Amino acid sequence: MKKKLALMMMSFTLAFSFLTACGSNANNNKDAAQNGTETAEETPAANGEKKVVKIFQFKVEIADALSRMEKEYEAAFPNIDLKIETVGGGADYGAALKAKFASGDEPDIFNNGGWNDAVVWQDKMEDLSGEPWVANLIDATKQQITLDGKLLGMPMNTEGYGYLYNKALFQQAGITEIPNTLSELRGAAQKLKDAGITPFENGYGEWWILGIHNVNVALAKQPDPTAFVNGVKEGTQTFAGNPIFQEWVNLLDTTMEFGQKNPLTTDYNTQVTEFAAGGAAMMQQGNWTQVQIDGVNPDLDLGVLPMPINDDEALNDNIFVGVPSNWVVNNKSSVKQEAKDFLNWMATSDAGKRYTVEEFKFIPAFTNIPFTPEQLGDIAASISEYSKAGKTLPWIWAMLPDGTTQEFGASIQAYVGGKLTKEQLLQSFDTTVQKLLKK
């Protein structure tokens, strides 16, 4: 991996570890100590007629908490009317956002994934470089949303994913060691199956579980992920001829072999609910599922496992950590300042910090929002351990052309359904990228 990428992930890991360590002092930290940057307790807009701030976001798992936050914010600032709309959970947020802009119903705040997504939406996004919260932002979270020296969004949080696992079910099946290689994962899956436990709950009815997070396993394990993606775009590299992608399919096959029936009809909500209810020992997901899992069974003892593609432990003993998305401000908004004030309130006020950690269960992207693993849950605590050990790989998918992950997801679903061979699947990836580059 190139020096720049290695340094980026090192800074991310160090910052993450620092935040976790600071969590023990959470009760002693006050906004007054934040160098005068916390001004959100003041009215964020001048008194007068009520102003509407429209927010369009994709994280369905925090929709209920956002509704509570909306009411709390409006009570504190009665001249502001927040209109929060959530589109996600299987729906194509990107397509829905484009439809919003095409119809003229443009949101004032929306989500952007950064990297290539930032390039696509660059002319719609306000420069937020001068906002008060920027001073507290973890440096490594800025890169994917910075263009031409301008910070175009506020990272909403950091997240990690791998295979979540139910420790009680592992113990029941006699699994005492964490599987860090593909052979070990298959061995653990066989023990679970022999004990009458479904090893994997696969939500393969969702294109993004496959086309984003699953594909990233092979992207991030490349010796130089950025060079590989650039090579694919330039035609000097191919998915079909890449050894890591060829081995990645073996991991996908393992989950199908040891998974529940009909994975293509299992959506996100069903996957998480079934796993939380003890219906399977593992599922591919991340810490964003903690709130929903707690709603079903708050007593589950959970951890995170690697997603190994072969038997090289050094290559596979890691999970994937990055910024899921950024809150950006529409630079044509008539309530641009009110939108900025709301984001600043989220990042600096006592209430905003509380929602980030206690309600959303987010791993903060800011050094001024301390937390403890106990506050965020078992999944975040496990991710923290990987981060402190330097065992994380980045999120690479957003470097691909716009629309790539959706088509990748559809192709993998066709493979899962037996309509494509392994060779046809990987060839379809190459075809997709070259086709989208010509648009």
> Between 428 and 32, whose confidence is greater?
428
3-class secondary structure per residue, 89-108: ECECHHHHHHHHHHHCCCCC
What is the pLDDT, as a whole number, of residue 439?
A: 82
pLDDT band at 90 (very low <50, low <70, confident <90, very high): low
Average pLDDT over residues 75-89: 94
Q: Candidates 2.30.110.10, 3.10.110.10, 3.40.190.10, 2.40.110.10; correct CATH number of 30-158+325-369?
A: 3.40.190.10
pLDDT digits (tens, 9 = 90+) for 333-348: 999 999 999 999 999 9
pLDDT digits (tens, 9 = 90+) for 221-272: 999 999 999 999 999 999 999 999 999 999 999 999 999 999 999 999 999 9
- DSSP 8-state class, residue 408: H
What is the pLDDT, as a whole number, of residue 49?
A: 84
pLDDT at 193 over 80: yes
CA distances from 245 to 59, 191, 250, 317, 430 (A): 29, 27, 9, 17, 12
pLDDT at 365 over 80: yes
Tell me where in the chain the CATH 3.40.190.10 domain(s) lie.
Answer: 30-158+325-369, 160-321+393-437
What is the pLDDT, as a whole number, of residue 369?
A: 94
Please tell me the pTM assigned to this model.
0.82
pLDDT band at 89 (very low <50, low <70, confident <90, very high): low
Give which of 209, 252, 242, 246 is closest to 408, Cα–Cα. Answer: 209
pLDDT at 216 over 60: yes
pLDDT digits (tens, 9 = 90+) for 93-122: 999 999 999 999 999 999 999 999 999 999
Average pLDDT over residues 205-225: 97
Contacts 24+ apart (CB under 8 A), 45-48: 45/77, 45/79, 45/80, 45/335, 45/337, 45/338, 45/341, 46/79, 47/79, 48/79
C-alpha 222/C-alpha 144 separation (Å) is: 19
CATH superfamily of 160-321+393-437: Periplasmic binding protein-like II (3.40.190.10)
pLDDT band at 91 (very low <50, low <70, confident <90, very high): low
pLDDT digits (tens, 9 = 90+) for 376-433: 999 999 998 999 899 999 999 999 999 999 999 999 999 999 999 999 999 999 999 9
pLDDT at 48 over 70: no
Segments of 148-296 assigned E as strands: 150-151, 154-155, 159-166, 282-286
